[in-house]
Structure 1
Amino acid sequence: MLLRILLPSLSRIALLAFCCLILPSHAHKPSDSYLTLTINGNTIDGQWDIALRDLDFAIGLDTDGNGEIVWDEVRARHPEIAAYALSRLNLSNKDGPCQAKPVQHLIDDHSDGAYAVLLFRADCAHQVESLTVQYSLFADLDPQHKGLLRLEGNGQTITAIFGPDNPRQVFRSSEQTRLRQFADYVQHGIWHIWIGFDHILFLLSLLFPAVLSFNGKTWQPAESFKASFLDVFKIVTAFTLAHSITLTLATLQFISLPSRWIESAIALSVVIAALNNVFPLFQGSRWIAAFVFGLIHGFGFASVLGDLGLPQNALLLALVGFNVGVEIGQLAIVAAFLPIAYALRQTWFYRGVILGTGSTLIAAIAAIWLVERVFDLRLISS
């Protein structure tokens, strides 16, 4: 009786959660910028990588409106880019503000597209021992935007994440400990898995059938929560082990693959995992698929970790911290998904809407990602 009362509410909650995952997945990943600050006495040298697509939205780079941003268009707006960015970054030490001025403009490619690279220098009145960073880039345009900071100085590397909810942070080199570095990279790992829509959709595609069993013709509800839990445990363990292997190998530069190949293969893995729910081929061995494709996803994690900038004096610490963060983020998703899915497993809503329609939509979205990444196009991604 209680389950009958709860099912309508649970169905609405599950549908809302599913829509929240699907709707934002038009973009490969949300807006990020990469800010590196190097302290040398009373001078701060900075490099700021900002996505061209974000700058185009903010100040308009595509002057001819053809949907493509070329070097001449970016070069013509160098003063505006510098003015816009530096007006949203305030650096100061205990003696007052450090005045930042642009030095050079470059272009670089990240895994999700082209970035403007702004090199600048900030002069402070005295030697920098305590640095306050106020970050507000795109705060008025994109509440999801994050700034990923790498701060170097006095033989140490500090990382941090800025956003509308955390725009101001103070850094003191004497306070940076190994534990703080580890915690920073754990935070980076959690954040990445939660914004990595392709990773999330791949994981969900493998988890959807965990509360069901396929009898050769139709899907039937799983007999017990224990059976569903064990199925999920095998999938998550296989995925974790696989991506940990390649994340480590790629980060330590034992293996290096082109990012375009990796991102295309990740999209393909989502297509296959989702279609397997519609046309079951390897239901009893989804953990094997999780392991095989997890090796590919590990290379994707490594590219993000590389973008963050690894401290050479704490490479292993950063690697382990980031991987732990990925696992925490992944387990949080599983913990939220499994109880609701198990409660809904006997309903038409779960088998028809979540498993059937949901997997079809995921496969379609991932197929478009695949075409975009293989042929370097922009169809639905921003």
Structure 2
Amino acid sequence: MNRLLLLVVLFFHALSAQAHKPSDSYLNFSVDGKIISGQWDIALRDLDFAIGLDTNGDAQITWGEVKAKQREIDAYAMARLQLQSDGLVCPTRVSDHLIDDHTDGAYVVLRFESVCAQPVTTLQTRYGLFFDIDPQHKGLLQLQYQGVSSTAIFSPEKATQQFSLTRPSRIGQFLDYAREGVWHIWIGYDHILFLLALLLPAVVIRQRKTWQAVDAFKPAFWSVLKIVTAFTLAHSITLTLATLGVISLPSRWVESTIAASVVIAALNNIYPLFRERRWMMAFLFGLIHGFGFASVLSDLGLPQSALVLALVGFNVGVETGQLAIVAAFLPVAFYLRHTLLYRKVILLGGSMLIALLAAGWLVERAFDMKFLPF
């Protein structure tokens, strides 16, 4: 039993190591004939780890410290990005530096221009930022050409990609954003832990202040279905409203409330408040989680010519990723429901660890501070 408890602790520690938004940078290319105008948003925390921006060691990166390192930042970044047109390298020059705030902190913004030898018809891009120090890092690209946008993700396995500058099909754009939705639910650990905290009691029922295994699969299935449906409906509503600009909420408030929702959902498994009405909690807090998804979608950029298509595609991707998690969880949980391992270690112990981890996120996000060692 002690070994099993240790495995659960190690599992949640592994999640906590990536509890905040994973390392991403954001590239935007706009192609016009021979000219590629680019913007590259790179997290200051990542650059600090790579080349050391915090020169006075006070854990605060100032504009002065960034400005002093501009040439080093340019050299480091542009050495890890190469653009080619039809096999010929397009020389690149950084033209401007800015600082911008994303939902997960401050980013340096590099604006640059690449001039190719002839009008670009096929663009080859090699991306290698931070891959040597963080194999989980991703580069998120939005490519704009003749008023149409397409997206791509660079990773160590897909560091070099080629783009044909023809008008993309509607189905291609839909699939691009659906893929982004799947990816972002899988790396959204606070969303995943909220969902898992709600699903953990689905295969048991509380009787006489203890959790007892359900007798059949049907009640467990219906419990999961109600929770997933409520969560999906709620975050789809606010994702749409936020993306279309109808409602806007402060990102710190949204992220703090998301962390609080994970705490409440986990503690509900230890001291039940909502009991068998967990679907109500899924809906209420799902409205806030939708704003979190919207911030990710806004970072990716939305093509105005296919706004609805991109929004629907991203939402379908989120739901697909979510259903994959449920499909992996439910059969295993149902199989283990009679065991002390499930009722004591996974349900109660796991819920306690989720609550503690999310409480740390809540304090960090609410007070804009960093104290957890991960």
Q: What pairs with 1:323-342 in structure 2 (closer than 5 Å)?
A: 323-342=315-334
Residue equivalent to 1:103: 95
Q: Which runs of 5+ in 2 are unaligned?
A: none
Q: What pairs with 1:67-216 in structure 2 (closer than 5 Å)?
A: 67-94=59-86, 96-174=88-166, 176-216=168-208
Alpha carbons of structure 1 residues 170 and 381: separation in structure 2 relative to 1, 3 Å: farther
Measured in 1, the distance between the counterparts of 2:268 and 2:366 equals 22
Contact 2:8 2:346 in 1 (8 A): no
Measured in 1, the distance between the counterparts of 2:258 and 2:290 equals 10
Contact 1:22 1:362 in 2 (8 A): no
Contact 2:227 2:279 in 1 (8 A): yes
User: Percent identity among equivalent residues?
Assistant: 62
Contact 1:135 1:162 in 2 (8 A): yes
Q: Which of these residues, 8, 12, 15, is aligned with residue 24 of structure 1?
A: 15
Contact 2:12 2:353 in 1 (8 A): no
Measured in 1, the distance between the counterparts of 2:309 and 2:371 equals 39
**So what's the TM-score if we normalise by structure 1?**
0.94
Residue equivalent to 1:237: 229
Q: Which of these residues, 290, 296, 308, is aligned with residue 304 of structure 1?
A: 296
Contact 2:31 2:37 in 1 (8 A): yes
1:37 aligns with 2:29: yes
1:264 aligns with 2:256: yes
1:15 is displaced (CA, Å) by 7.7
| CA displacement, residues 10-31 of structure 1 (integer Å, 9 cap, x when unaligned) | x96x985874454232431210
1:64 is displaced (CA, Å) by 1.5
Measured in 1, the distance between the counterparts of 2:246 and 2:208 equals 43
Measured in 1, the distance between the counterparts of 2:150 and 2:348 equals 45
Measured in 2, the distance between the counterparts of 1:116 and 1:381 equals 24
Measured in 2, the distance between the counterparts of 1:141 and 1:175 equals 36
Q: What pairs with 1:339-354 in structure 2 (closer than 5 Å)?
A: 339-354=331-346
1:70 is displaced (CA, Å) by 1.4
Task: Name the amino acid aligned to 2:161.
Answer: Q
Task: Name the amino acid aligned to 2:265.
Answer: A
Residue equivalent to 1:5: none
Contact 2:54 2:61 in 1 (8 A): yes
Contact 1:21 1:197 in 2 (8 A): no
Q: Which of these residues, 34, 38, 41, is aligned with residue 46 of structure 1?
A: 38
1:95 is displaced (CA, Å) by 5.0
**So what's the TM-score if we normalise by structure 2?**
0.96
Measured in 2, the distance between the counterparts of 1:301 and 1:351 equals 32
Contact 2:197 2:269 in 1 (8 A): yes
1:154 is displaced (CA, Å) by 1.6
How many residues are matched?
372
Q: Which runs of 5+ in 1 are unaligned?
A: 1-7
Contact 1:156 1:173 in 2 (8 A): no
More helix by share: 1
Task: Name the amino acid aligned to 1:250.
Answer: A
1:277 is displaced (CA, Å) by 0.6
Contact 1:274 1:360 in 2 (8 A): yes
Residue equivalent to 1:274: 266
CA-based RMSD of the aligned residues comes to 1.7
| CA displacement, residues 151-208 of structure 1 (integer Å, 9 cap, x when unaligned) | 0112211111110111111111226211111111011000100000100010000001
Contact 1:107 1:116 in 2 (8 A): yes
| CA displacement, residues 287-335 of structure 1 (integer Å, 9 cap, x when unaligned) | 0000000000000000100000000000000000000000011011111
Q: Which of these residues, 51, 58, 66, is aligned with residue 59 of structure 1?
A: 51
SS at match of 2:226: helix
1:368 is displaced (CA, Å) by 1.0
Q: Which of these residues, 343, 352, 375, is aligned with residue 367 of structure 2?
A: 375
